Copies of this chain bind each other. A is one copy, B any other.
Amino acid sequence: MKILFTSVGRRVELIQAFRSAAKRLAVDITIIGADLVTDAPALYFCDEHLQVVRISDPLYIPNLVEYCAENKIDCLIPTIDTDLNLLAINKHKFEAVGTKVLISAVDKVKLCRDKNYTADYFISLGLKSPRPVNSVEKFEEAMMQGQVSFPAFIKPKDGSSSIDAYKVNNLEDLNVYAQKIGDYIIQPFISGREYTIDIFGDYEGNPVFITPRERLAVRSGEVLKTRITQDHKMIEEMKVLCADFKPCGQITVQLIREESTGDDYYIEINPRFGGGAPLSIKAGADSAEAVIRMLLGQSLSYSEGAARDGAIYSRFDQSICINP
């Protein structure tokens, strides 16, 4: 079985999860890591490397499709935001050469990438979401009408990893950050605990695992410490989302549980393996194993509370020499 990860970067733990699942299932696996650069650390944990052109290059998709066809790749798994739209749009080209792509439908991927759409989507499902505005002027207007107040949260419209995401306490600062970011959104700041929910759906979009994790410590938007929290309310809310979103492969959903009301405010959806996904996998919601089973033709069913409730995972740095 051959699995290709695009933009494999630093996803060492994810690669390891697939390798150990394959071993457990006694499946012969070849893991191919694709990246723009040749020195990404995760490449050193793959069986084969594929150097690709920039995602913005018109040859990105044709080259990938050709590679998948020639090398009989069973499955392509994206790991970063920037190629998700492209892969969703071109999914059929990969399927035509026998390669499954773990990506959700085009319209769903699109709404994840633009945070203006994401909030509306959550609200359309009956979930709460801090509705963003896309200019300081609109935030001021809403403020004068008593709809919003400081603190506010400003971040790039299509950003990720909390890069350039700031909590702001007044209009002066808001203007500084707005200028700095360029294409931004402003949301009311929600005070409470932050959670990530790792969801794995089969190729038809039926949920297999729904794993809420509290983000206990974060660095640069990536989780350093997390606690599996089998919260019934969140899980039910995500079942509502899954029924419409039809997640294909792994997606992660981020939310804040507001501290005074206990309401869940949903912030974003990333339709890919999130950086912390290996933590849910290690805790028992083994989506690496699920992918392999799916490719073996096994049908999967929903597994309630697969990850061990209360398990705490903590992350640390490891390094590898990439020109040994």
Q: Is A120 at the interface (CB under 8 A from chain B)?
A: no
Q: How many copies of the shown chain assemble into the complex?
A: 2
Bound state CA distance, A1 and B94, in angstroms?
Answer: 59
Q: Interface size bucket, A side?
A: 35 or more
Judge whether A314 and B173 touch: CB under 8 Å: no
Bound state CA distance, A158 and B42, in angstroms?
Answer: 35
Judge whether B319 and A278 touch: CB under 8 Å: yes
Contacts of A316 in B (CB 8 A): 10-13, 41-42, 317-320
Which of B176, B222, B275, B283 has a CB less than 8 Å from the CB of A176? B176
Cβ contacts A98-128/B at 8 Å (1 or 0 each): 0000000000000000000000000000000
Which of B172, B315, B322 has a CB less than 8 Å from the CB of A41? B315
By secondary structure, the A interface counts as mixed
| Known A-B contacts A220-B219, A220-B220; A39 and B319 likewise in contact (beta carbons under 8 Å) | no
Bound state CA distance, A279 and B323, in angstroms?
Answer: 13
Q: Which of A85-93, A184-192, A305-313 contacts B (4 or more CB under 8 A)?
A: A305-313
Interface centre among A219, A319, A320 (most CB of B within 10 A): A319
Judge whether B312 and A321 touch: CB under 8 Å: yes
Judge whether A314 and B279 touch: CB under 8 Å: no
Interface centre among A310, A321, A322 (most CB of B within 10 A): A321
Contacts of A11 in B (CB 8 A): 316
Which of B172, B180, B282, B315 has a CB less than 8 Å from the CB of A317? B315
Contacts of A320 in B (CB 8 A): 313-314, 316
Report 17 cross-chain contacts, Cβ distance below 8 Å, ordered by A residue: A10-B314, A10-B317, A12-B318, A13-B319, A41-B314, A41-B315, A41-B316, A172-B176, A173-B180, A219-B219, A283-B321, A311-B323, A312-B322, A312-B323, A313-B320, A314-B322, A317-B318
